[in-house]
Amino acid sequence: MKLLEKTSRIYLLASLVIYVAVGIAFYWITTFMIYDEVESRLMVEKRDFESYLQTNNTWTNNSYFVENKIEVVPVFGEFENEATFTDTLIYNRYEESMDPFRQLTFYTMIGGSPYRVAIRKSIVESYKLIEAISAAMITFLALLMVGMFFFQRNLSGKLWRPFYGSLARIKDFDWTRNNKLEFESSEISEFNELNEVMVKMASKMQHDYKSLREFTENASHEIQTPLALINARVEQFIQSQDLSENQTHWIEEIYHAARRMSRLNQGLLLLAKIENQQFTEQESIDLAALIIARLKDFEDIITHKNITIHTETKGSFVKKMSPALAEIMVTNLVSNAIKHNYTDGKLTILTGNNFFVLSNTGHELKADPERLFERFKKESAQAESVGLGLAIVKQICDNYELHIDYRNVDSLHSIRVFA
Amino acid sequence: MFPDSEAIFDAHEFTDMKVLVVEDEKGLAESIVDYLSKEGFVCEVANTFWQADEKISLYQYDCTIVDLTLPDGDGFNIVQTLKKIAAATGIIIISARNTLEDKIKGLEIGSDDYMTKPFHLSELNARVKSLIRRRNFGGNNDMVWKEIRVQLPSRKVFIDEKDTVLSRKEYDLLLYFLSNIDVALTKEAIAEHLWGDHMDSSDSLDMVYSHIKNLRRKILEKGGKDYIQSIYGIGYKFTAP
């Protein structure tokens, strides 16, 4: 939920509650005032009635008039001599409706016998007044609420504008580039503080990225150059005619060790670069097509090992990722499926909607399949293998939120990559 | 194209070709110079950016081998300067940087080839020769050694003037041998030359073996001599028996 929406909702809910409470209170107060007024007038009429009795000592019921109706009824038996106010409805013979009345009931002696006297006063006018007041109040409060709602919405929008500006800049910020993160200064000090913190963090990120990038470049140069020297010297050394069998063996070992070290270094640096997200270029890549294309590079070895290739396409797997990393991922997987395959073995490539599976025949796994994608997990004792191929594939998958798993189905090693 | 005027070169076709090696690692520069000198090239070394800058402005080279990471400058600048003042010079970059971007950048600013360290001297040698051939003769000359003649543009091979059909890889292999005559080549160097460095399995060494067997058989069948000599534990050498 957006911030503005959230504040609007809270505002609306709170003002609705207050509105209802104010409405109820107002209604209650008005009613109370009206009753109070009517009752005090009824008390005045009671006094008038009593003084009339004192002078005349008699009363004739004249029930023709609706208003100011005084009803005198003789009472027999016991009664409690007290005055009470009650609400009652009287039939209005002209409007054919029941009208509300306030009634004061008390007892008095007329000509020596007790009578119950009820004086009534219509409050229909008062109800009309309440209705009119209520309607006016509802209209004004509603207008006020709507007005306040738009005012606060507008105000919040204005107040938070620098925040949204900063947010957009942070979203656009790319730490792999040299452009500094910059903000416009705002009147609100909290936003300025936030911006300052963000600028500090961003420049730290850029600095870390840059230094790791430089490190991978330097490490690559500093390690590969001496290895190139070892390689070159070994090549020169083997040109001499008079090498003993032992010397040949040693020199071969030096050569292989240097090659392995170079591969290891390249593999580890590649992992570091992938982790550091140095491959920023992105393209939509059809991974199924890429696998088929990469298979061509392995044509010779596939023919040599007489591996039967079976491809099945059920859908497309297009992923937005770095073309270089897509190549590395696919090449490593294909190379792996061929390297660990038997002569006369099989390789099945199944591609579908957002997944592909490479299945190959091969020796049973010695290691725990769970740890297959860890670094330095070697299946073969081959001197040239450094055990980083699948770790690199895993790291690439992690970077692009792809999943990878291994299964052994019908003694086929299956590696599945899916989105 | 012009069969009569076609220049025919022997293994010493590169005598007196001048090569500049720009490399700050002195031992590596020395190795390259030793190796290429034996092939008949006249080599000079620049260990720093400024030495290289001075040399390319004073002398003409047929080929320049440039390391990208130099203590006092960027090898890319040398490539750019060379392109400006001596466009005829072939340029090969040798670098430890193996990213695609660096390779693309190197080729874009005008280098002819890009090799990642560590590389095989035999591979560098083959590439320098192929580059000079392309630049000087437009790749239109024949490669001749003893009774073997290779027509480069049509990729045809003649043994004793008899047309010999080789597979693509056998042809590449023969050319690699002809560029490195009398040189002990490791199996790994041959495998890398034929399939690139993503084939790091023992299978590729088997494949080298089988291709060599086939190439040897085809040369012998057409009446050639057996020039491929195995060196125990190391690899092969193409040499007169």
Burial readout A2-13 (b: 16 or more C-beta within 10 A, e: otherwise): eeeeebbeebbe
Kindly state the tokens that stand for A174. 């790319």
Residue B105: which residues within 8 A CB-CB, separation 6 or more?
A: B76
pLDDT at B140: 67
Residue B127: count other Cβ atoms within 10 Å of its Cβ.
21
Q: Measuring CA to CA, which residue among A256, A259, A260, A238 is closest to residue A248?
A: A238
Tell the CATH topology of A283-418: Heat Shock Protein 90 (3.30.565)
- Report whether the peptide linkage leading into residue B118 is cis, meaning its omega lies within 30 degrees of zero: yes
- Residues carrying CATH 1.20.58, chain A: 189-275
**pLDDT higher than 60, residue A247:** yes
Q: Does B203 touch chain A (CB under 8 A)?
A: yes
Say yes or no for a CB contact (<8 Å) between B35 and A235.
Answer: yes
Q: What is the pLDDT of residues A287-312, one digit of tens each?
A: 988 998 888 888 888 888 899 999 99
Q: How confident is the model at residue B66 (pLDDT cuts 50, 70, 90)?
A: very high
Q: What is the pLDDT of residues B120-171, one digit of tens each?
A: 999 999 999 999 888 877 666 788 888 899 988 888 899 988 898 999 999 9
User: Residue B64 burial (CB < 10 Å; 0-12/13-18/19+)?
Assistant: buried
Set of chain A residues whose Cβ sits within 8 Å of the Cβ of B187: none
Q: What is the pLDDT of residues A194-239, one digit of tens each?
A: 899 999 999 999 999 889 888 888 888 888 889 999 999 999 998 8
* DSSP summary character for residue A348: E
Candidates B117, B194, B198; nearest CB to A225: B117
Distance CA A306, CA A338 (A): 10
**pLDDT higher than 90, residue B43:** yes
Q: Are strands A308-313 and A346-352 parallel, antiparallel or unpaired?
A: parallel
Q: What is the pLDDT of residues B22-36, one digit of tens each?
A: 999 999 999 999 999
Class of domain A189-275: mainly alpha
**pLDDT higher than 60, residue A383:** no
Distance CA B199, CA A381 (A): 16
Kindly state the tokens that stand for B66. 């440039």
Residue B205: which residues within 8 A CB-CB, separation 6 or more?
A: B187, B188, B191
Kindly state the tokens that stand for A193. 């503080």
State the first-to-last Cα distance of chain A, in angstroms, to the nearest integer.
28
Quote the strand ranges of chain B, DSSP E.
8-9, 18-22, 42-46, 63-67, 69-70, 73-74, 90-95, 113-116, 142-145, 148-151, 156-159, 162-164, 184-186, 228-231, 235-238
Q: In chain A, what percentage of residues exceed pLDDT 70? A: 96
Ordered by start, the domain boundaries in chain B are 12-137, 142-238
Q: Which CATH architecture has domain B142-238?
A: Orthogonal Bundle (1.10)
Q: How confident is the model at residue A62 (pLDDT cuts 50, 70, 90)?
A: low
Distance CA A238, CA A247 (A): 9
ipTM for the assembly? 0.86
Cα separation values, B37 from A337, A418, B33, B44, B125, Å: 43, 54, 6, 10, 10
Candidates B35, B95, B204; nearest CB to A236: B35
> Tokens 């130099």 correspond to what residue?
B70
Please give the order of strands across the beta sheet that includes A70-74: A70-74, A113-122, A97-110, A84-92
Q: Under a CB-based contact definition with an 8 Å cutoff, are residues B19 and B44 in contact?
A: yes
Q: How far is A186 from chain B (nearest CA, A)?
A: 41
Q: How confident is the model at residue A4 (pLDDT cuts 50, 70, 90)?
A: confident
Residue A334: which residues within 8 A CB-CB, separation 6 or more?
A: A291, A294, A295, A298, A358
Set of chain B residues whose Cβ sits within 8 Å of the Cβ of A297: 195-196, 198
Say yes or no for a CB contact (<8 Å) between B198 and A258.
Answer: no
Q: Under a CB-based contact definition with an 8 Å cutoff, are residues A227 and B117 in contact?
A: yes
DSSP string, A137-149: HHHHHHHHHHHHH
pLDDT at A72: 82
**pLDDT higher than 80, residue A61:** no
Among B21, B65, B121, the residue to mutate for chain A (most A Cβ within 10 A): B121
- Report whether the peptide linkage leading into residue A114 is cis, meaning its omega lies within 30 degrees of zero: no
Set of chain A residues whose Cβ sits within 8 Å of the Cβ of B118: 224, 227-228, 230-232, 258-259, 262
Q: Compute the mean pLDDT over every residue in chain A, rounded to the nearest whole number.
A: 85
Distance CA B126, CA B123 (A): 5
The stretch B59-85 carries a mean pLDDT of: 91
The identity of residue A181, as a single letter, is: L
Superfamily of domain B12-137: Response regulator (3.40.50.2300)
Q: How confident is the model at residue B45 (pLDDT cuts 50, 70, 90)?
A: very high
Domain B12-137 and domain B142-238, same fold? Reply is: no
The stretch B216-223 carries a mean pLDDT of: 91
For the four alpha carbons of A247, B233, B122 and B78, in that order, the dihedral sign comes to negative
Q: Nearest 5°: phi and psi at A40?
A: -70, -30
Say yes or no for a CB contact (<8 Å) between B25 and A385.
Answer: no
Set of chain A residues whose Cβ sits within 8 Å of the Cβ of B104: none
Distance CA B182, CA B163 (A): 25
